[in-house]
Amino acid sequence: MPPTPTTLVETLQSSLDKIDSDQDKLSTLLSAMDLYDQPRELRALSGTGCDNSFSDDQNQHVWSQFMELAQKHGIEDQFISACLQRMDFSRTSTHLEHLECANHDLKSSKRCKERATKICNCKHKLRSKDWKPEWVEEQRRPSFMDDGAESSHTRFGVSRSLWGNMPAFDILNLKANEGLETSINRDLALAFVASGDIRNVIRTVNELPKNYGGTLDIVINDRDPMVQCRNLLLLIILGMVPDLSDATEIALHFWYSLFLPSSWLSKLGIILQESQLLTPGEHVRTLSFGSHLTLNVLMETQTQYFFAGTFVHNGPDKLTPAIANNTFYNFMNASERVDYVHRYYAGLEPSHRLAIQEWRRFGVLYPFSASSAYLNTPNPWLFGHDHTLFLNDHASPSQGWDVQAAFEVGKAHGTTQADIMGCLYFYIKDQLHTFAQRLRTFKMNISLFKYDAIELGKGIKGGTIPGIPRSILFDRIEVSNATDLQYAGVKPMLEAWGPFLKTKKANQHASLIGLFMNWAWSKGAKAVVDNRANAGNIIKTFVDYYPETIPKFPSTLDLNAGLSGISTFMGIMDNIELCHENSEAFNEYLRNQGALETCKNIGLRSRKTNTIIPHRIGGTLGHPWKTLPKKMTVEKYIMLGSLQYVLYCGRPPARAALGTTFIS
């Protein structure tokens, strides 16, 4: 029988105090770990999922005790590195095509590769039907309702918009516009002028017919140099890593995971060296993915700084596993933010609470029960050069993709809807695989820039943008929420980009697509939203539509019932826009911002019925703006209202977000 953790730690502490050499201390600590024969003792580094023999808290406690000893004696980094090196990663597959059996023995690097056939009902307090937010358990007022709290209406963390916060969509939607059959050989020009990540590029290319024979001219632009660098690296990985399975797995974890396999960084380094992207001096670099595809990227000074600096400052010798893990954990699990997180968890199904909490602890996008031992080197492209995490504490891979579609793909790969991160892993990997295939077969010219969206439009008009002729016209221009007042605004965006739409004669479906994510809380619409005369009717409609979401309180309310009711009330307010017909207010907003007058001046008009993306969250394509989302099942409501839009950060919810298209 192995010694108890308490006995072992006490003995070990005494031994380490008598040792002078760091190497001898490390050897002693590793030997002690072998004595404590627990298969999941390295869970925080090497895997996820629930263990039937030991509780989650016990596993974490054991690991924490060893880590505390390593920290106390100044050998934390050596300890983590040694633990990882002792595992034979060559015997651990990095490519999951289906969910495998969770029977792992990480210490001997053995695992069962058969398909998973049974479900483990993990015993965890987050999965309990009796789980309550911490403010209810402690019988206190939640911090997000404290008007005096400075952080109650601010984001926590550093946001560089590395991940999309709205579901990816196909900006062409040929089936509802030009037609699939008539577009087989049509050349198409697409502009993503405030792209953020490349999820919309991927969805658009993936929705083209398999036998598409035209040429795609794609402009991808974002003003953030870190975003541009990440987009460039994703395209290089997906287009230039020879093996498709390697390419998609590398790209997925590069995009969304805190850790990468160390071998992949060296492979990527070789490709970058051969591409000469780091050649000093501002220049346009053209990469060829075969004879059919070129990638043109403007490597200006700031981009080069981020590109080279990230490799220098965030290399494995500087951004250690301990630094990466601690930084991520401290951001995602800060004690002052627990009420915000629990407000979010209160609207989730129990299994999803646990799955998301697991991701928030370890930051690896992978199926819940699968071994991620091979992910052992920090991802340098999620951190600044001072090792600041470039994410908010509400960032989540689920925000940028269709969660319902992910559930279906996850089931096809052997996992269940309860494992939301596992479903997203398989779904995103499938999307990346299809995109990588098309990078190898479709004719494309991709241009990558780092400009302010307005300045890019002016530059093209003036003929000063390398590789882009001033005469270019586009079939689609997607501007994201640069139309919001907090950014460029709708009128300047229309003036800068409206003239670049193809004429009605060339393509009557040519469209400029904008997202108005924050319109309802901007100055021009504030009075309309704040003074709702029918607020009571809207709440009543919501309760009538979704009575299952309203708990039945006892006839005599006690303090706990009142505190629990806060979660219910916040859930209603976060999702009430599903029952609020606000098209008149939105039209007024567009008029106030000069959008409609600008359209008239430059020969555009605003569509009254969207044909590319629904006019609002939960809406139906092809319906007028005034049409409310149809009543949903409780399952779909939870998926749309909670999983898809992670909004516990204190800012107003995005349910009022509207998308519209402007056409010539």
For 325, counting Cβ atoms within 10 Å of its Cβ (0-12 exposed, 13-18 middle, 19+ buried), the class is buried
Token couple for 95: 């490519």
How many other CB atoms are there within 10 angstroms of residue 179's CB atom?
12
Please give the Cα distance from 660 to 609 (Å, whole number). 9
List the single range of 147-161, 235-249, 494-508, 618-632 with lowest mean pLDDT: 147-161
pLDDT for the residue numbered 56: 41
Q: What's residue 104's pLDDT?
A: 53
Task: Give me the mean pLDDT over the 366-372 stretch.
Answer: 83
Mean pLDDT of 210-219: 97
DSSP letter, residue 631: P
Segment 128-145 shows an average pLDDT of 86
The one-character DSSP state at 279 is -
pLDDT of 115 higher than 90: no
pLDDT given for residue 61 in this prediction = 59
| Over residues 470-479, mean pLDDT | 97
Residues 249 and 463: their CA atoms lie apart, in Å, by: 39
Please state, rounded to an integer, the average pLDDT across all residues of the chain: 81
Tokens standing for residue 618: 């939960």
Residue 236 pLDDT > 80: yes
Give the range with max mean pLDDT: 63-67, 280-284, 527-531, 541-545: 541-545
Q: Return the percent helix, strand and coil in the chain, to nearest 5.
A: 50, 10, 40
pLDDT value at 656 more than 50 = no
Six-digit token string for 172? 């062409």
Question: For 309-348, how does the pLDDT look when each residue is reduced to its tens digit (9 = 90+)?
Answer: 888 899 888 999 999 999 999 989 888 889 988 888 888 8
Q: What is the mean pLDDT of residues 579-587?
A: 85
Residue 176 has pLDDT above 60, yes or no: yes
- The CA-CA-CA angle for residues 378, 381, 385, to 5°, reads 90
Tokens of 409: 């793909």
Kindly state the average pLDDT of the residues 366-393.
Answer: 89
pLDDT digits (tens, 9 = 90+) for 259-277: 998 888 777 777 777 777 7
Contacts of 416 (CB under 8 A, 6+ apart): 119, 410, 422
CA distances from 634 to 29, 616, 618 (A): 51, 19, 13
- Judged against a pLDDT cut of 80, whether residue 427 lies above it is answered with yes
pLDDT at 599: 93
Say what the pLDDT of residue 274 is: 76
Judged against a pLDDT cut of 70, whether residue 560 lies above it is answered with no
pLDDT for position 109: 54
Output 123 or 89, whichever has higher pLDDT. 123
Please give the full DSSP string across 137-189, using - where no structure is assigned.
HTTS--GGG-TT-GGGGS--B-----S-SS----S--GGGTT-SGGGTT--EE
The pLDDT assigned to 289 comes to: 87
In this prediction, residues 204-211 reach a mean pLDDT of: 97
Position 37 pLDDT exceeds 50:
no
Q: What is the pLDDT of residues 1-16, one digit of tens each?
A: 445 556 667 777 888 8
Looking at 4-72, list the stretches that DSSP marks H as alpha helix, in order from N- to C-terminal side.
Answer: 5-17, 22-35, 43-46, 56-72
Residue 361 makes CB contacts below 8 A (sequence gap 6+) with: 44, 329, 332, 333
pLDDT > 90: percent of the chain = 42
Highest mean pLDDT among 147-151, 204-208, 464-468, 624-628: 204-208
Question: What pLDDT was estimated at residue 664?
Answer: 65
The Cα 600–Cα 664 span in angstroms is 10
Q: Is the pLDDT of residue 655 over 70?
A: no
Q: Cα separation of 627 and 610, whole Å?
A: 12
User: Tell me, what's the pLDDT at 11?
Assistant: 78
- Give the integer Cα–Cα distance in Å for 126 and 357: 9
pLDDT at 245 over 70: yes
pLDDT at 92: 39
d(CA 528, CA 106): 59
**Given this model, what pLDDT does residue 367 score?**
92
Out of 19-23, 32-36, 326-330, the most confident range is: 326-330
Segment 104-118 shows an average pLDDT of 56
User: Per-residue pLDDT for 148 more than 60?
Assistant: no
**How is 121-138 classified by DSSP, letter by letter?**
----GGG-TT---HHHHT
The tokens of 203 are what? 């969805």
Position 49 confidence tier, pLDDT thresholds 50, 70, 90: very low
SS3 392: strand
CA quadruple 282, 288, 294, 295: dihedral sign = negative
Q: The dihedral of CA 570, 574, 578, 580: what is its sign?
A: positive
Q: 340 vs 570, which has greater pLDDT?
A: 340
Q: How far apart are the first and last CA of the chain?
A: 77
Going by C-alpha positions, the residue among 373, 382, 379, 389 that lies closest to residue 326 is 389
Average pLDDT score over residue span 226-238: 94
Q: How confident is the model at residue 634 (pLDDT cuts 50, 70, 90)?
A: low
Q: How far from 417 is each of 209, 355, 368, CA to CA, in Å?
A: 29, 11, 11
Token representation of residue 100? 């495998």
State how far the Cα of 325 lies from the Cα of 1, in Å rounded to an integer: 32
Spacing of C-alpha 108 from chain mean position: 34
Enclosing H/E stretch for 341: helix 338-345
The residue-averaged pLDDT of 235-255 equals 93
567 backbone dihedrals φ, ψ, rounded to 5°:
-60, -45
HSE-up (13 A, CA, CB side) for residue 97: 6
625, 185 Cβ separation under 8 angstroms = no
The tens digit of pLDDT for each residue in 495-545 reads 999 999 999 999 999 999 999 988 877 755 544 444 455 777 887 888 888
Do the beta carbons of residue 197 and residue 231 sit within 8 Å?
yes
The whole-number average pLDDT for the span 549-564 is 55
**Residues paired with 660 in a beta bridge:** 514
